[in-house]
Amino acid sequence: MMGAMEKAFPAIVMALLVLSAILPAIPVVRANDEAPLTECVPTEPRECQPGEPVKVGRMTGGGFIVGDMRINQTTIEVRLNFGFELHCDVSKTPNNLQINWRPLSGGPTHIFHLESMDFASCFETPANQDVPPAPFDTHVGSGTGRFKVGNSPWQTATIKWAFVDAGEPGAGTDFLVIAIVVGPTTYVIFGWITGGNIQAHAGDP
């Protein structure tokens, strides 16, 4: 039987492909986890073609990821915490996304709060979100918000993301891509979450 991580690869490829279309700086990975590419090179066409968008539903999640963050042309290791509730239809509310991270080597905390979701697309892939049942497992979106580093003043920032619900327990199976742009600086992180869970939900409460 195919493992949870193997089942997640098609969803990961699709999420990165869609996000790469709206933020070219983000690399796309092969389905077999080889080195990042600038374009999708699928082994099957379905790995690069998102399914029919779903407009009814929402995704929730909370947890953290420990991994490499790309900041323009440099890379640092961080622990990034996240929590969100995001609808598949941008006209539905609430849509909340809060992110904070700190370099593992030390330094100030970076904070982002979503204020407006401008784009959302939910679609089903072979990732298999298991329970609860939902007609999609991947949420791709973008928006604007406020950002600060330590005690500095709040600044306007834009964000693009992809969240993939690839089943339980969440840690080690669910996947995320986050890109935040603040002035000339772009922060990018992607990978399997280290702790927590991402859940797709069929209904809009």
pLDDT at position 15 is 54
CA-to-CA distance for 85 and 200, rounded, in angstroms?
A: 10
The residues, ordered by sequence, that sit 6+ positions from 203 with a Cβ below 8 Å of its Cβ are 56, 57, 58
**DSSP-derived 3-state class of residue 153:** coil
**Residues 196, 124, 23: CA angle, nearest 5 degrees:** 75
Q: Answer yes or no: are the C-beta atoms of 155 and 148 closer than 8 Å.
A: yes
Rg (CA), the chain: 16
Structure tokens at 74: 């440099």
Q: How far is CA 205 from the centre of its chain?
A: 22
Tell whether domain 58-201 is in CATH 2.60.120. no
Annotated domain spans of the chain? 58-201
Burial class of residue 152 (count of CB atoms within 10 Å of its CB; 0-12, 13-18, 19+):
exposed
Structure tokens at 115: 């204020």
pLDDT in tens, the chain (205 residues): 344 444 454 555 555 555 554 444 443 333 333 333 333 333 333 333 445 677 889 999 999 999 999 999 899 999 999 999 999 999 999 999 999 999 999 999 999 999 999 999 888 877 777 777 888 888 999 999 999 999 999 999 999 999 999 888 889 889 999 999 999 999 999 999 999 999 999 887 7
Q: What is the pLDDT of residues 29-68, one digit of tens each?
A: 333 333 333 333 333 333 334 456 778 899 999 999 999 9
The residues, ordered by sequence, that sit 6+ positions from 29 with a Cβ below 8 Å of its Cβ are 12, 13, 16, 35, 36, 37
The residues, ordered by sequence, that sit 6+ positions from 45 with a Cβ below 8 Å of its Cβ are none
Q: What are phi and psi of 13, to 5 degrees?
A: -60, -45
